[in-house]
Structure 1
Amino acid sequence: MEARVVELEVKTAFQEDLLETLNEIVTRQEQQIALLQKQFKALYQQMQSQGQGGGSDGNARHEIPPHY
């Protein structure tokens, strides 16, 4: 019976360690996703402002190729 209790305590300790590790990974991924969303938003806004200020409608089909 005591061996069974020790085995369960060991499993519980490993599970707690695993949960902590997974929590750290998820937290890091949330930070990375937030940064990527911020960068995407900045790029999107930059593309929108270039499309408005460039004299074109932002559609690549209406731009003249560089060799003309």
Structure 2
Amino acid sequence: MRTTVNTYLARNPHERKQLSVLLDALDRPGENIASRSTFTGHVTCGAIVIDQFGRILHVLHLASGKVLV
């Protein structure tokens, strides 16, 4: 995640201040902000992926057992 954020900031340095909370969280030792068990805060994301044929990627949410659409 750190690599992605650093790459983004290299292209958008003017957004460093807006991402300061995320950067601070990434720097906290012993915390994995990609883990749901990190209760001080964790990162989640979503996306819609459609290929050139109009097919849509559906993801199975492991905790709920539901297909995310």
Shorter chain as denominator, the TM-score bin is under 0.3
Calculate the TM-score normalised by the size of structure 2: 0.24
Q: Considering fraction of residues, name the structure with more strand.
A: 2
Higher helix share: 1
By relative contact order (CA 8 Å, sep 6+), the higher-ranking structure is 2
Whose radius of gyration is greater, 1 or 2?
Answer: 1
